[in-house]
């Protein structure tokens, strides 16, 4: 489990879809075999530790359901080590289980921040409301507006500069994870009817 607060930007230095293996260069310290690392919102298990990198294996499900299938060597990923009991949670609880990917539709400057608008499927729309939490590429963010086929978020300068969002281009695909609390509330209300 993670908090959606990015602590490092890792660079893909090896990626092979045939062997389903990815190697990520990182400044994260004290990595160990079997550890969970959020890699742009995808919970990956450390399979091998090198001097300044780690390797993970990718399941077929991960390749099919996340934006990792569109990544290549040199791409930057948001990294976060899993939480320990007693750690401060500055974002929201993030599991690293991607619900779907969505496309970036626009980036607008507004009073020093960047407002990003993403496509929205009907499957995801039912869980979103203004001011709810959402994880986008592993970053804990707050939804501004929810429209029929899109939603937007504001990115403050600190988050923009310290995550992979600064490299975003219109049309890029992003990993989305719905806030687990929203999912449970929606399910409970649905079961009450």
The answer, yes or no, to whether residue 193 has pLDDT greater than 70, is: no
For 8-81, CATH gives: 2.40.30.20
Common-topology check for domains 8-81 and 100-192: yes
For 100-192, CATH gives: 2.40.30.20
* Partners of 114 in beta bridges: 109, 155
The answer, yes or no, to whether residue 145 has pLDDT greater than 90, is: yes
> Which tokens in the block code for residue 77?
């990923």
The answer, yes or no, to whether residue 188 has pLDDT greater than 80, is: no
The reported pLDDT for the residue numbered 142 is 95
User: Rounded to an integer, what distance in angstroms lies between the CA atom of residue 70 and that of residue 30?
Assistant: 29
Judge contact between 37 and 81, C-beta under 8 A: yes
The reported pLDDT for the residue numbered 83 is 87
Which residue ranges make up each domain of the chain?
8-81, 100-192
Residue 50: C-alpha distances to residues 31, 63, 79, 154 (Å): 9, 23, 16, 36
Strand pairing report for 48-49 and 42-45: unpaired
Each residue of 17-28: pLDDT tens digit?
Answer: 999 999 999 999
The answer, yes or no, to whether residue 55 has pLDDT greater than 90, is: yes
User: Rounded to an integer, what distance in angstroms lies between the CA atom of residue 12 and that of residue 129?
Assistant: 34
């Amino acid at each position: 489990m993670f908090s959606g607060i990015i602590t490092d930007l890792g660079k893909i230095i090896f990626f092979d879809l045939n062997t389903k293996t990815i190697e990520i260069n990182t400044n994260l310290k004290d990595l160990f075999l079997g550890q969970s690392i959020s890699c742009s919102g995808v919970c990956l298990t450390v399979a091998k530790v090198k001097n300044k990198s780690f390797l993970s294996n990718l399941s077929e499900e991960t390749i099919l359901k996340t934006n990792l299938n569109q990544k290549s060597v040199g791409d930057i990923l948001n990294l976060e080590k899993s939480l320990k009991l007693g750690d401060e949670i500055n974002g929201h609880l993030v599991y690293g289980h991607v619900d779907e990917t969505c496309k970036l539709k626009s980036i607008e400057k507004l009073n020093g921040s960047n407002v990003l608008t993403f496509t929205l499927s009907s499957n995801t729309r039912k869980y979103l409301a203004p001011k709810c939490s959402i994880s986008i590429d592993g970053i804990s963010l707050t939804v501004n507006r929810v429209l029929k086929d899109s939603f937007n978020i504001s990115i403050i300068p600190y988050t923009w500069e310290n995550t992979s969002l600064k490299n975003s281009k219109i049309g890029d695909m992003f990993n989305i994870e719905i806030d687990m609390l929203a999912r449970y509330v929606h399910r409970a209300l649905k079961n009450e009817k």
